[in-house]
Structure formats: C-alpha cells, structure tokens
Structure 1
Amino acid sequence: MSESFPRPASSAILERDGRFLLIRRINPPSADLFAFPGGRGEPGETAAETAVREFFEETGIPVTDPELFATYDLKTESHDGAVLSHFFLSVFLVKADATTQALAADDAADAGWYTVDEIRTLPVPPSVLDCVERLAARPAKG
C-alpha cells in the first residue's frame, strides 16, 4: 500500500556530558539502526507530545521542555518508485533528570550513550547524523 501523504513522527535528543542517548531499533523502517528515541504520532497528539511519549516508552526516562530542533521529510521508495513509507519527522531537544538511567523497551533493542565521534561510526539514519553534526558545530554555552 503506498501512501501519498506523510505520517507524523517525532524523536527526541537527550544529551549528557557530550554524549547522546541512542536506541537500536527493532522494527522497520529503521530496524538495526541506532537512532534517537521516537516514533509515530497518535491521532490528536502534537509533535512535541509524541516525542515526549515515545521517549518515555522506549527508554523509561521522563523528559521535559521539548524544543523543536529539526524537521525531515523521510520517504522510502521501492526499486520501481512506489512509496513504501513516508514520514514527516520532527526532532526535539529535551531535558531530563541527570540521574535517570535508560532502559530499552518497546521498539528499542538496547540503549546507550554515544559521543559524536562514536555516532559517526554507527549505522544511523542520515537525519541522526545530521542532527549530531549540527549540535557538535554549535558554539559552547558560556
């Protein structure tokens, strides 16, 4: 079944001491890739609400203060050009209690904290690499 319009999805970036929390996805379209916690929006949910809910479902960490950081139009097509999946992804920066530990759950096989250099060597979606490169290029807060 091809979809002609994008479905909403959100993910969230949590950074601690120069490391980013990534989960390894179990399900398509990003199975076995490392990504920011996130997923599909539910009816009536804002993009920010999706990011907060999905982050908690996949890591067990309650997050707050979602701030929109980036958006991506993600389309997966078959070899004959048929659209297999199409998502409009909203990526948020979030905050959390620094002592809370991540526990992989839901669509996450495992969770870990990675530096930008480590992320560059992992199998990640292009949107994840784009976000961490943009964050790494930001001037340090003084």
Structure 2
Amino acid sequence: MQKIANLIVVKDNQVLLLKKPRRGWYVAPGGKMDPGESVYEAAAREFVEETGAKAVDPHLKGVYTMVITDDTGSHVKNEWMLYTFVAHDLVGKPFETTTEGELEWHPVESLETLPMAEGDRTNLLFAVSQIGMQYGTFLYTEEFKLLKEEIQSSKEG
C-alpha cells in the first residue's frame, strides 16, 4: 500500500495550495513517502520540494485510507494511506510555479468551494479549523467521484 504525506500551511487566515494542471484541482503540497522515511519527514521534505519554503513546526492532523474502486464500489482498484499535516507559518518565499502546478494563497474559507477531491476538502477543512485528530476512509470511483466517506475524530483531553 502506498503512503502519501501532505502539509497545508495556514498563515494570516490564508492557506497555501497547489493547483494541479491535470484537473485544475487544488491540493495541499505533498507526495509519496520514501522507504524508511517517517510520515513527518516525508511531509516536511515534500513541502520543501514542492514549494521551495520550509513549514514551521508541522503537526499531524489526520490519517486516511483512500480507496479507488469500480463504479459500483465493489472492486478495489487502488488504495493508499494519506497523512495530513498542518503548520501555521513558513520560512522562505514559496515558488509561484513548479513542475507539479501553481502555488497560490487562498482565504481559509475558500477550502469550502475550490475545486478539489471531496475527501481532500473534508480533511483540509478539519486540519485548518478543528482541534484534535481526524481519521477516515474515502471510497472513490476511478474518476474521483466520492462514493462513501467514513470519518472519526478524537480530541486529546
């Protein structure tokens, strides 16, 4: 199973997002973990590689299972784990464009309406606005139509 780590930075009520050219969807910068790499190391490394800036004190906000199925939801075609981190500051000036797409600052509220995978919307909104951790499973078709979402969360008390 593939493991992916992404990281969203929130600063001055803005979030730094990467607009992917293929679909025009927005994502948090991130990517595949290298063998032997921790989820923290992967999120930090991928953020630097994709933005040219360094996130300050990122912390884990969610762990998700992402499942791609046929249109009926009965045959699994692909599956991966996603670890979502958040940070509230960065060092350096982010690139404007990379081979991965365009980096843009958007108001936090825009996470509710920008084009993106619905599971990303769920986990990024939680990461930037809630306390605690979120866990979940997202079931998608191959065209990334969300078929089912199961979410749990916990708050340290």
Q: State the TM-score bracket (shorter-chain normalisation).
A: 0.7 to 0.9
Q: Which has the higher contact order (CA 8 A, sep 6+)?
A: 1
Is 1:9 the counterpart of 2:4 in the alignment?
yes
Task: Return 62-71 or 37-46, whichever deviates more.
Answer: 62-71
Q: TM-score, normalised by structure 2?
A: 0.70
Structure-to-structure mapping, 1:62-101, within 5 angstroms: 62-79=54-71, 81-94=74-87, 95-97=89-91, 100-101=93-94
State whether residues 58 and 105 of structure 1, in contact with CA within 8 Å, keep that contact through their aligned partners in structure 2: yes
State whether residues 52 and 64 of structure 1, in contact with CA within 8 Å, keep that contact through their aligned partners in structure 2: no
Q: In the TM superposition, what is the alpha-carbon distance from 1:137 to its structure 2 partner?
A: 5.0
Is 1:126 the counterpart of 2:118 in the alignment?
yes
Q: TM-score, normalised by structure 1?
A: 0.77
Structure with more of its chain in strand, by fraction: 2
Listed as ranges, the gaps of 5+ residues in structure 1 are 1-5
Q: In the TM superposition, what is the alpha-carbon distance from 1:105 to its structure 2 partner?
A: 1.8
Question: Which one of the candidate residues 37, 58, 82 is aligned to 1:45?
Answer: 37
Compared with structure 1, are the counterparts of its residues 102 and 128 closer, same or farther at alpha carbon in structure 2 (3 Å cutoff)? farther
Is 1:18 the counterpart of 2:10 in the alignment?
no
Q: In the TM superposition, what is the alpha-carbon distance from 1:117 to its structure 2 partner?
A: 2.5
Q: How many residues are paired up?
A: 128
Listed as ranges, the gaps of 5+ residues in structure 2 are 132-157
Give identity over the alignment, percent.
24
What is the alpha-carbon root mean square deviation over aligned residues? 2.1
State whether residues 8 and 124 of structure 2, in contact with CA within 8 Å, keep that contact through their aligned partners in structure 1: no
State whether residues 11 and 90 of structure 1, in contact with CA within 8 Å, keep that contact through their aligned partners in structure 2: yes
Counterpart residue number, 1:103:
96
